[in-house]
Amino acid sequence: MLFDVWAPWARQVTLHLSMRPVPMERDPDRVGWWVAEEEAGPGARYGFALDDGPVLPDPRARRLPEGPEGPAAVTDPGAFPWRHDWAGRGLPGAVLYETHIGTFTPEGTFDAAAGRLGHVAALGVTHVELMPVCAFPGRHGWGYDGVAPWSVHEPYGGPEGLQRFVDTAHGHGLGVVLDVVHNHLGPSGNRLPEFGPYFTEAHHTPWGAAVNLDEHGSDEVRAYFVGSALAFLRDYRVDGLRLDAVHALVDNRAEHVLAQLSAEVDALSEELGRPLFLIGESDRNDPRTTAPRACHGHGLHAQWNDDFHHALHCAVTGESQGYYADFARAPLATLAKTLERGFFHDGGYSAFRGRRHGRPFDRAATPAHRLLGYAQTHDQVGNRALGDRVATLAGEEGSAIAAALVLCGPFTPMLFMGEEWGAVTPWQYFTDHQDPELAEAVRNGRRREFGAHGWPAEEIPDPQDPATRDRSCLDWSRVDGGAGTEGDEPWLLGWCRRLIAIRHAHLPPGLTLADVRALADDAAGWLVVHNGPLTVAVHVGEGGEAVVPLGDGAFERLATTHRCPPPEGSGVLRLPPRAAAVLRRVAE
């Protein structure tokens, strides 16, 4: 087999294959590349030594059985015996379910998680979105400290474990979306700078020197990250990728790396004959992120919408600290604007940032599914001091209101694992750094961060304590037994299942932001949103009954959280406190 590595600064490179050194030669056709042809079977350990230095793992290693700093192992992703033919499942009409393999089950493996996919499919979800699975130091962590973008974390089950998970998901009719991190590598175990100019001091991000996307040598760096993304879509049959913090991808070239990636993903989709898509996480509120490349956009297929989350969170919990302050003054009116226009911050002033922020969408040209709507994510739960969920903060009624707006709203909905049954297990920040100094720095940094907001240090969970990870594992007894026994499932689970069924039955794909109309009254505590043929009305107040104007036409009730009278002929709906209703406009 061919072993190759990009090491443009090296004077000589030696392949170490099963403890045997093999001199490598310069590739005459590729500048900076070294090659060697050797016999090697699956599982054979190997690495590269640059100029007689230490043996380093292959930057493109698929498998790192001893962790990110150990030798790579030869693996053949094309040899996996796939059981299910899969035609693919695109983003329009999708319902996503964000999952962390390490805490979805106590076992924290792909195989254990695959055993729970029947529950997810029965909910009506169409895609499981996995948090990052690339190799990182230690056993447990969020995955955003990965240091080998082509690899799969061995404690989860390695490359074949991921393939088994995807194959099982496809057997349940579920697509798989994988979260990938291209904006930085973890603070421990990153050996890429020893191979070549993978990072540049010309730009800096919150993690230090930026990934080199536009300086000398950046062609190969871009190809490295784009290639890893294509490998997960092709070799692991993943259906889409969620790109972490794309605003931190500093790139001043004429073609942004996101546009390059989206073009190559679209080409691969055409080649494979199944839909593939990219979802970006961006803090810029910039419509160019998802605008087509032909319109000088980056061509991503969707992006997360934190504005929607923030306004919804304020409405159901009443919180107003930090970045919630911009949304808390009139959360329902803010939410109404976000539902209609896509962003709340679309060029206006943000007090939190101390400047104007964002740009507006062309509502008529923007499909609503290009924005993801959610009440909870790993970030919005895990970055809280105690990792508390909406069910803890707002109770079952607040969770049900949030679910109605997420699952029957205009945006592509996404749930965070356990949200569908009102899980109250926290999801906290946990790490397993092997470097004692780094572990202590992370521990102290977490305490300083929340100490500045008045939290006593002893109340902040220690990220390095294994109990922090264990507390964050889902408690499946809520649906397996006790309150979850047959005929006595959690009420919220049935509510979410019904809302998703309504969405699939009544909400056609192809709606744009121009098809959304929303009206709110913060003083009275109600919001109504007309989303194509569906109407969602909510009352977040604690006081008396709310009289919600529905407008002209006749409406059929599809689901309500409380017993309430049907819409009146005068075009109003009476909702009790902390209630939600989903209706459908019908011909008179």
| Residue 540 assigned as binding residue | no
pLDDT at position 487: 54
pLDDT at position 376: 98
Q: Annotate 96-116 with three-state secondary structure.
A: EEEECHHHHCCCCCHHHHHCC
| Residue 381 assigned as binding residue | yes
Is pLDDT of 72 > 90?
yes
Average per-residue pLDDT in the chain? 95
| Residue 244 assigned as binding residue | yes
What mean pLDDT is predicted for residues 267-274? 98
pLDDT at position 457: 86
| Residue 247 assigned as binding residue | yes
What mean pLDDT is predicted for residues 362-373? 98
CATH of region 2-56 = 2.60.40.10
Local confidence band at 186 (pLDDT 50, 70, 90 cut-offs)? very high
The model's pLDDT over 509-526, given as tens digits with 9 standing for 90+, comes to: 899 999 999 999 999 999
Q: What is the amino acid identity at position 150? A: W
pLDDT at position 402: 98
Residues 399, 400, 406: CA angle, nearest 5 degrees: 85
Distance CA 443, CA 465 (A): 10
Map out the domains of the chain as residue ranges: 2-56, 516-586
The model's pLDDT over 574-585, given as tens digits with 9 standing for 90+, comes to: 999 999 999 999
The model's pLDDT over 23-39, given as tens digits with 9 standing for 90+, comes to: 999 999 999 999 999 99
At which residue do the structure tokens 């909406």 appear?
A: 390
Distance CA 312, CA 438 (A): 36
2-56 with 516-586: one CATH topology? yes
The model's pLDDT over 322-353, given as tens digits with 9 standing for 90+, comes to: 999 999 999 999 999 999 999 999 999 999 99
pLDDT at position 484: 39
What mean pLDDT is predicted for residues 532-540? 97
The model's pLDDT over 448-501, given as tens digits with 9 standing for 90+, comes to: 989 887 888 889 999 999 999 999 999 999 898 644 344 578 999 999 999 999
Burial class (CB in 10 A: 0-12, 13-18, 19+), 283: middle
| Residue 111 assigned as binding residue | no
Local confidence band at 568 (pLDDT 50, 70, 90 cut-offs)? confident
Catalytic residue among 4, 179, 235, 281: 281
To the question of domain 516-586 being in CATH 3.30.70, the answer is no
Is pLDDT of 212 > 90?
yes
| Residue 245 assigned as binding residue | yes
The model's pLDDT over 124-169, given as tens digits with 9 standing for 90+, comes to: 999 999 999 999 999 999 999 999 999 999 999 999 999 999 999 9
What mean pLDDT is predicted for residues 5-24? 97
pLDDT at position 31: 97
Is pLDDT of 397 > 60?
yes
pTM of the predicted protein model: 0.97
| Residue 133 assigned as binding residue | no
Local confidence band at 565 (pLDDT 50, 70, 90 cut-offs)? confident
Catalytic residue among 244, 326, 346, 419: 244
The answer to whether 515 and 531 have CB atoms below 8 angstroms apart is yes
What mean pLDDT is predicted for residues 219-237? 98
Q: What is the amino acid identity at position 73? A: A
pLDDT at position 571: 87
| Residue 246 assigned as binding residue | yes
Burial class (CB in 10 A: 0-12, 13-18, 19+), 400: buried
Is pLDDT of 272 > 60?
yes
Q: Facing residues of 83 across strands?
A: none
How far is the CA of 304 from the CAs of 300, 358, 510, in angstroms?
A: 11, 14, 18
Distance CA 497, CA 195 (A): 50
Percent with pLDDT over 90 in the chain: 92
pLDDT at position 570: 76
Strand, helix or coil for residue 584? strand
| Residue 307 assigned as binding residue | yes
Distance CA 302, CA 412 (A): 9
Least confident window among 223-237, 247-261, 552-566: 552-566
Q: Facing residues of 278 across strands?
A: 241
The model's pLDDT over 287-327, given as tens digits with 9 standing for 90+, comes to: 999 999 999 999 999 999 999 999 999 999 999 999 999 99
Establish whether 281 is a catalytic residue: yes
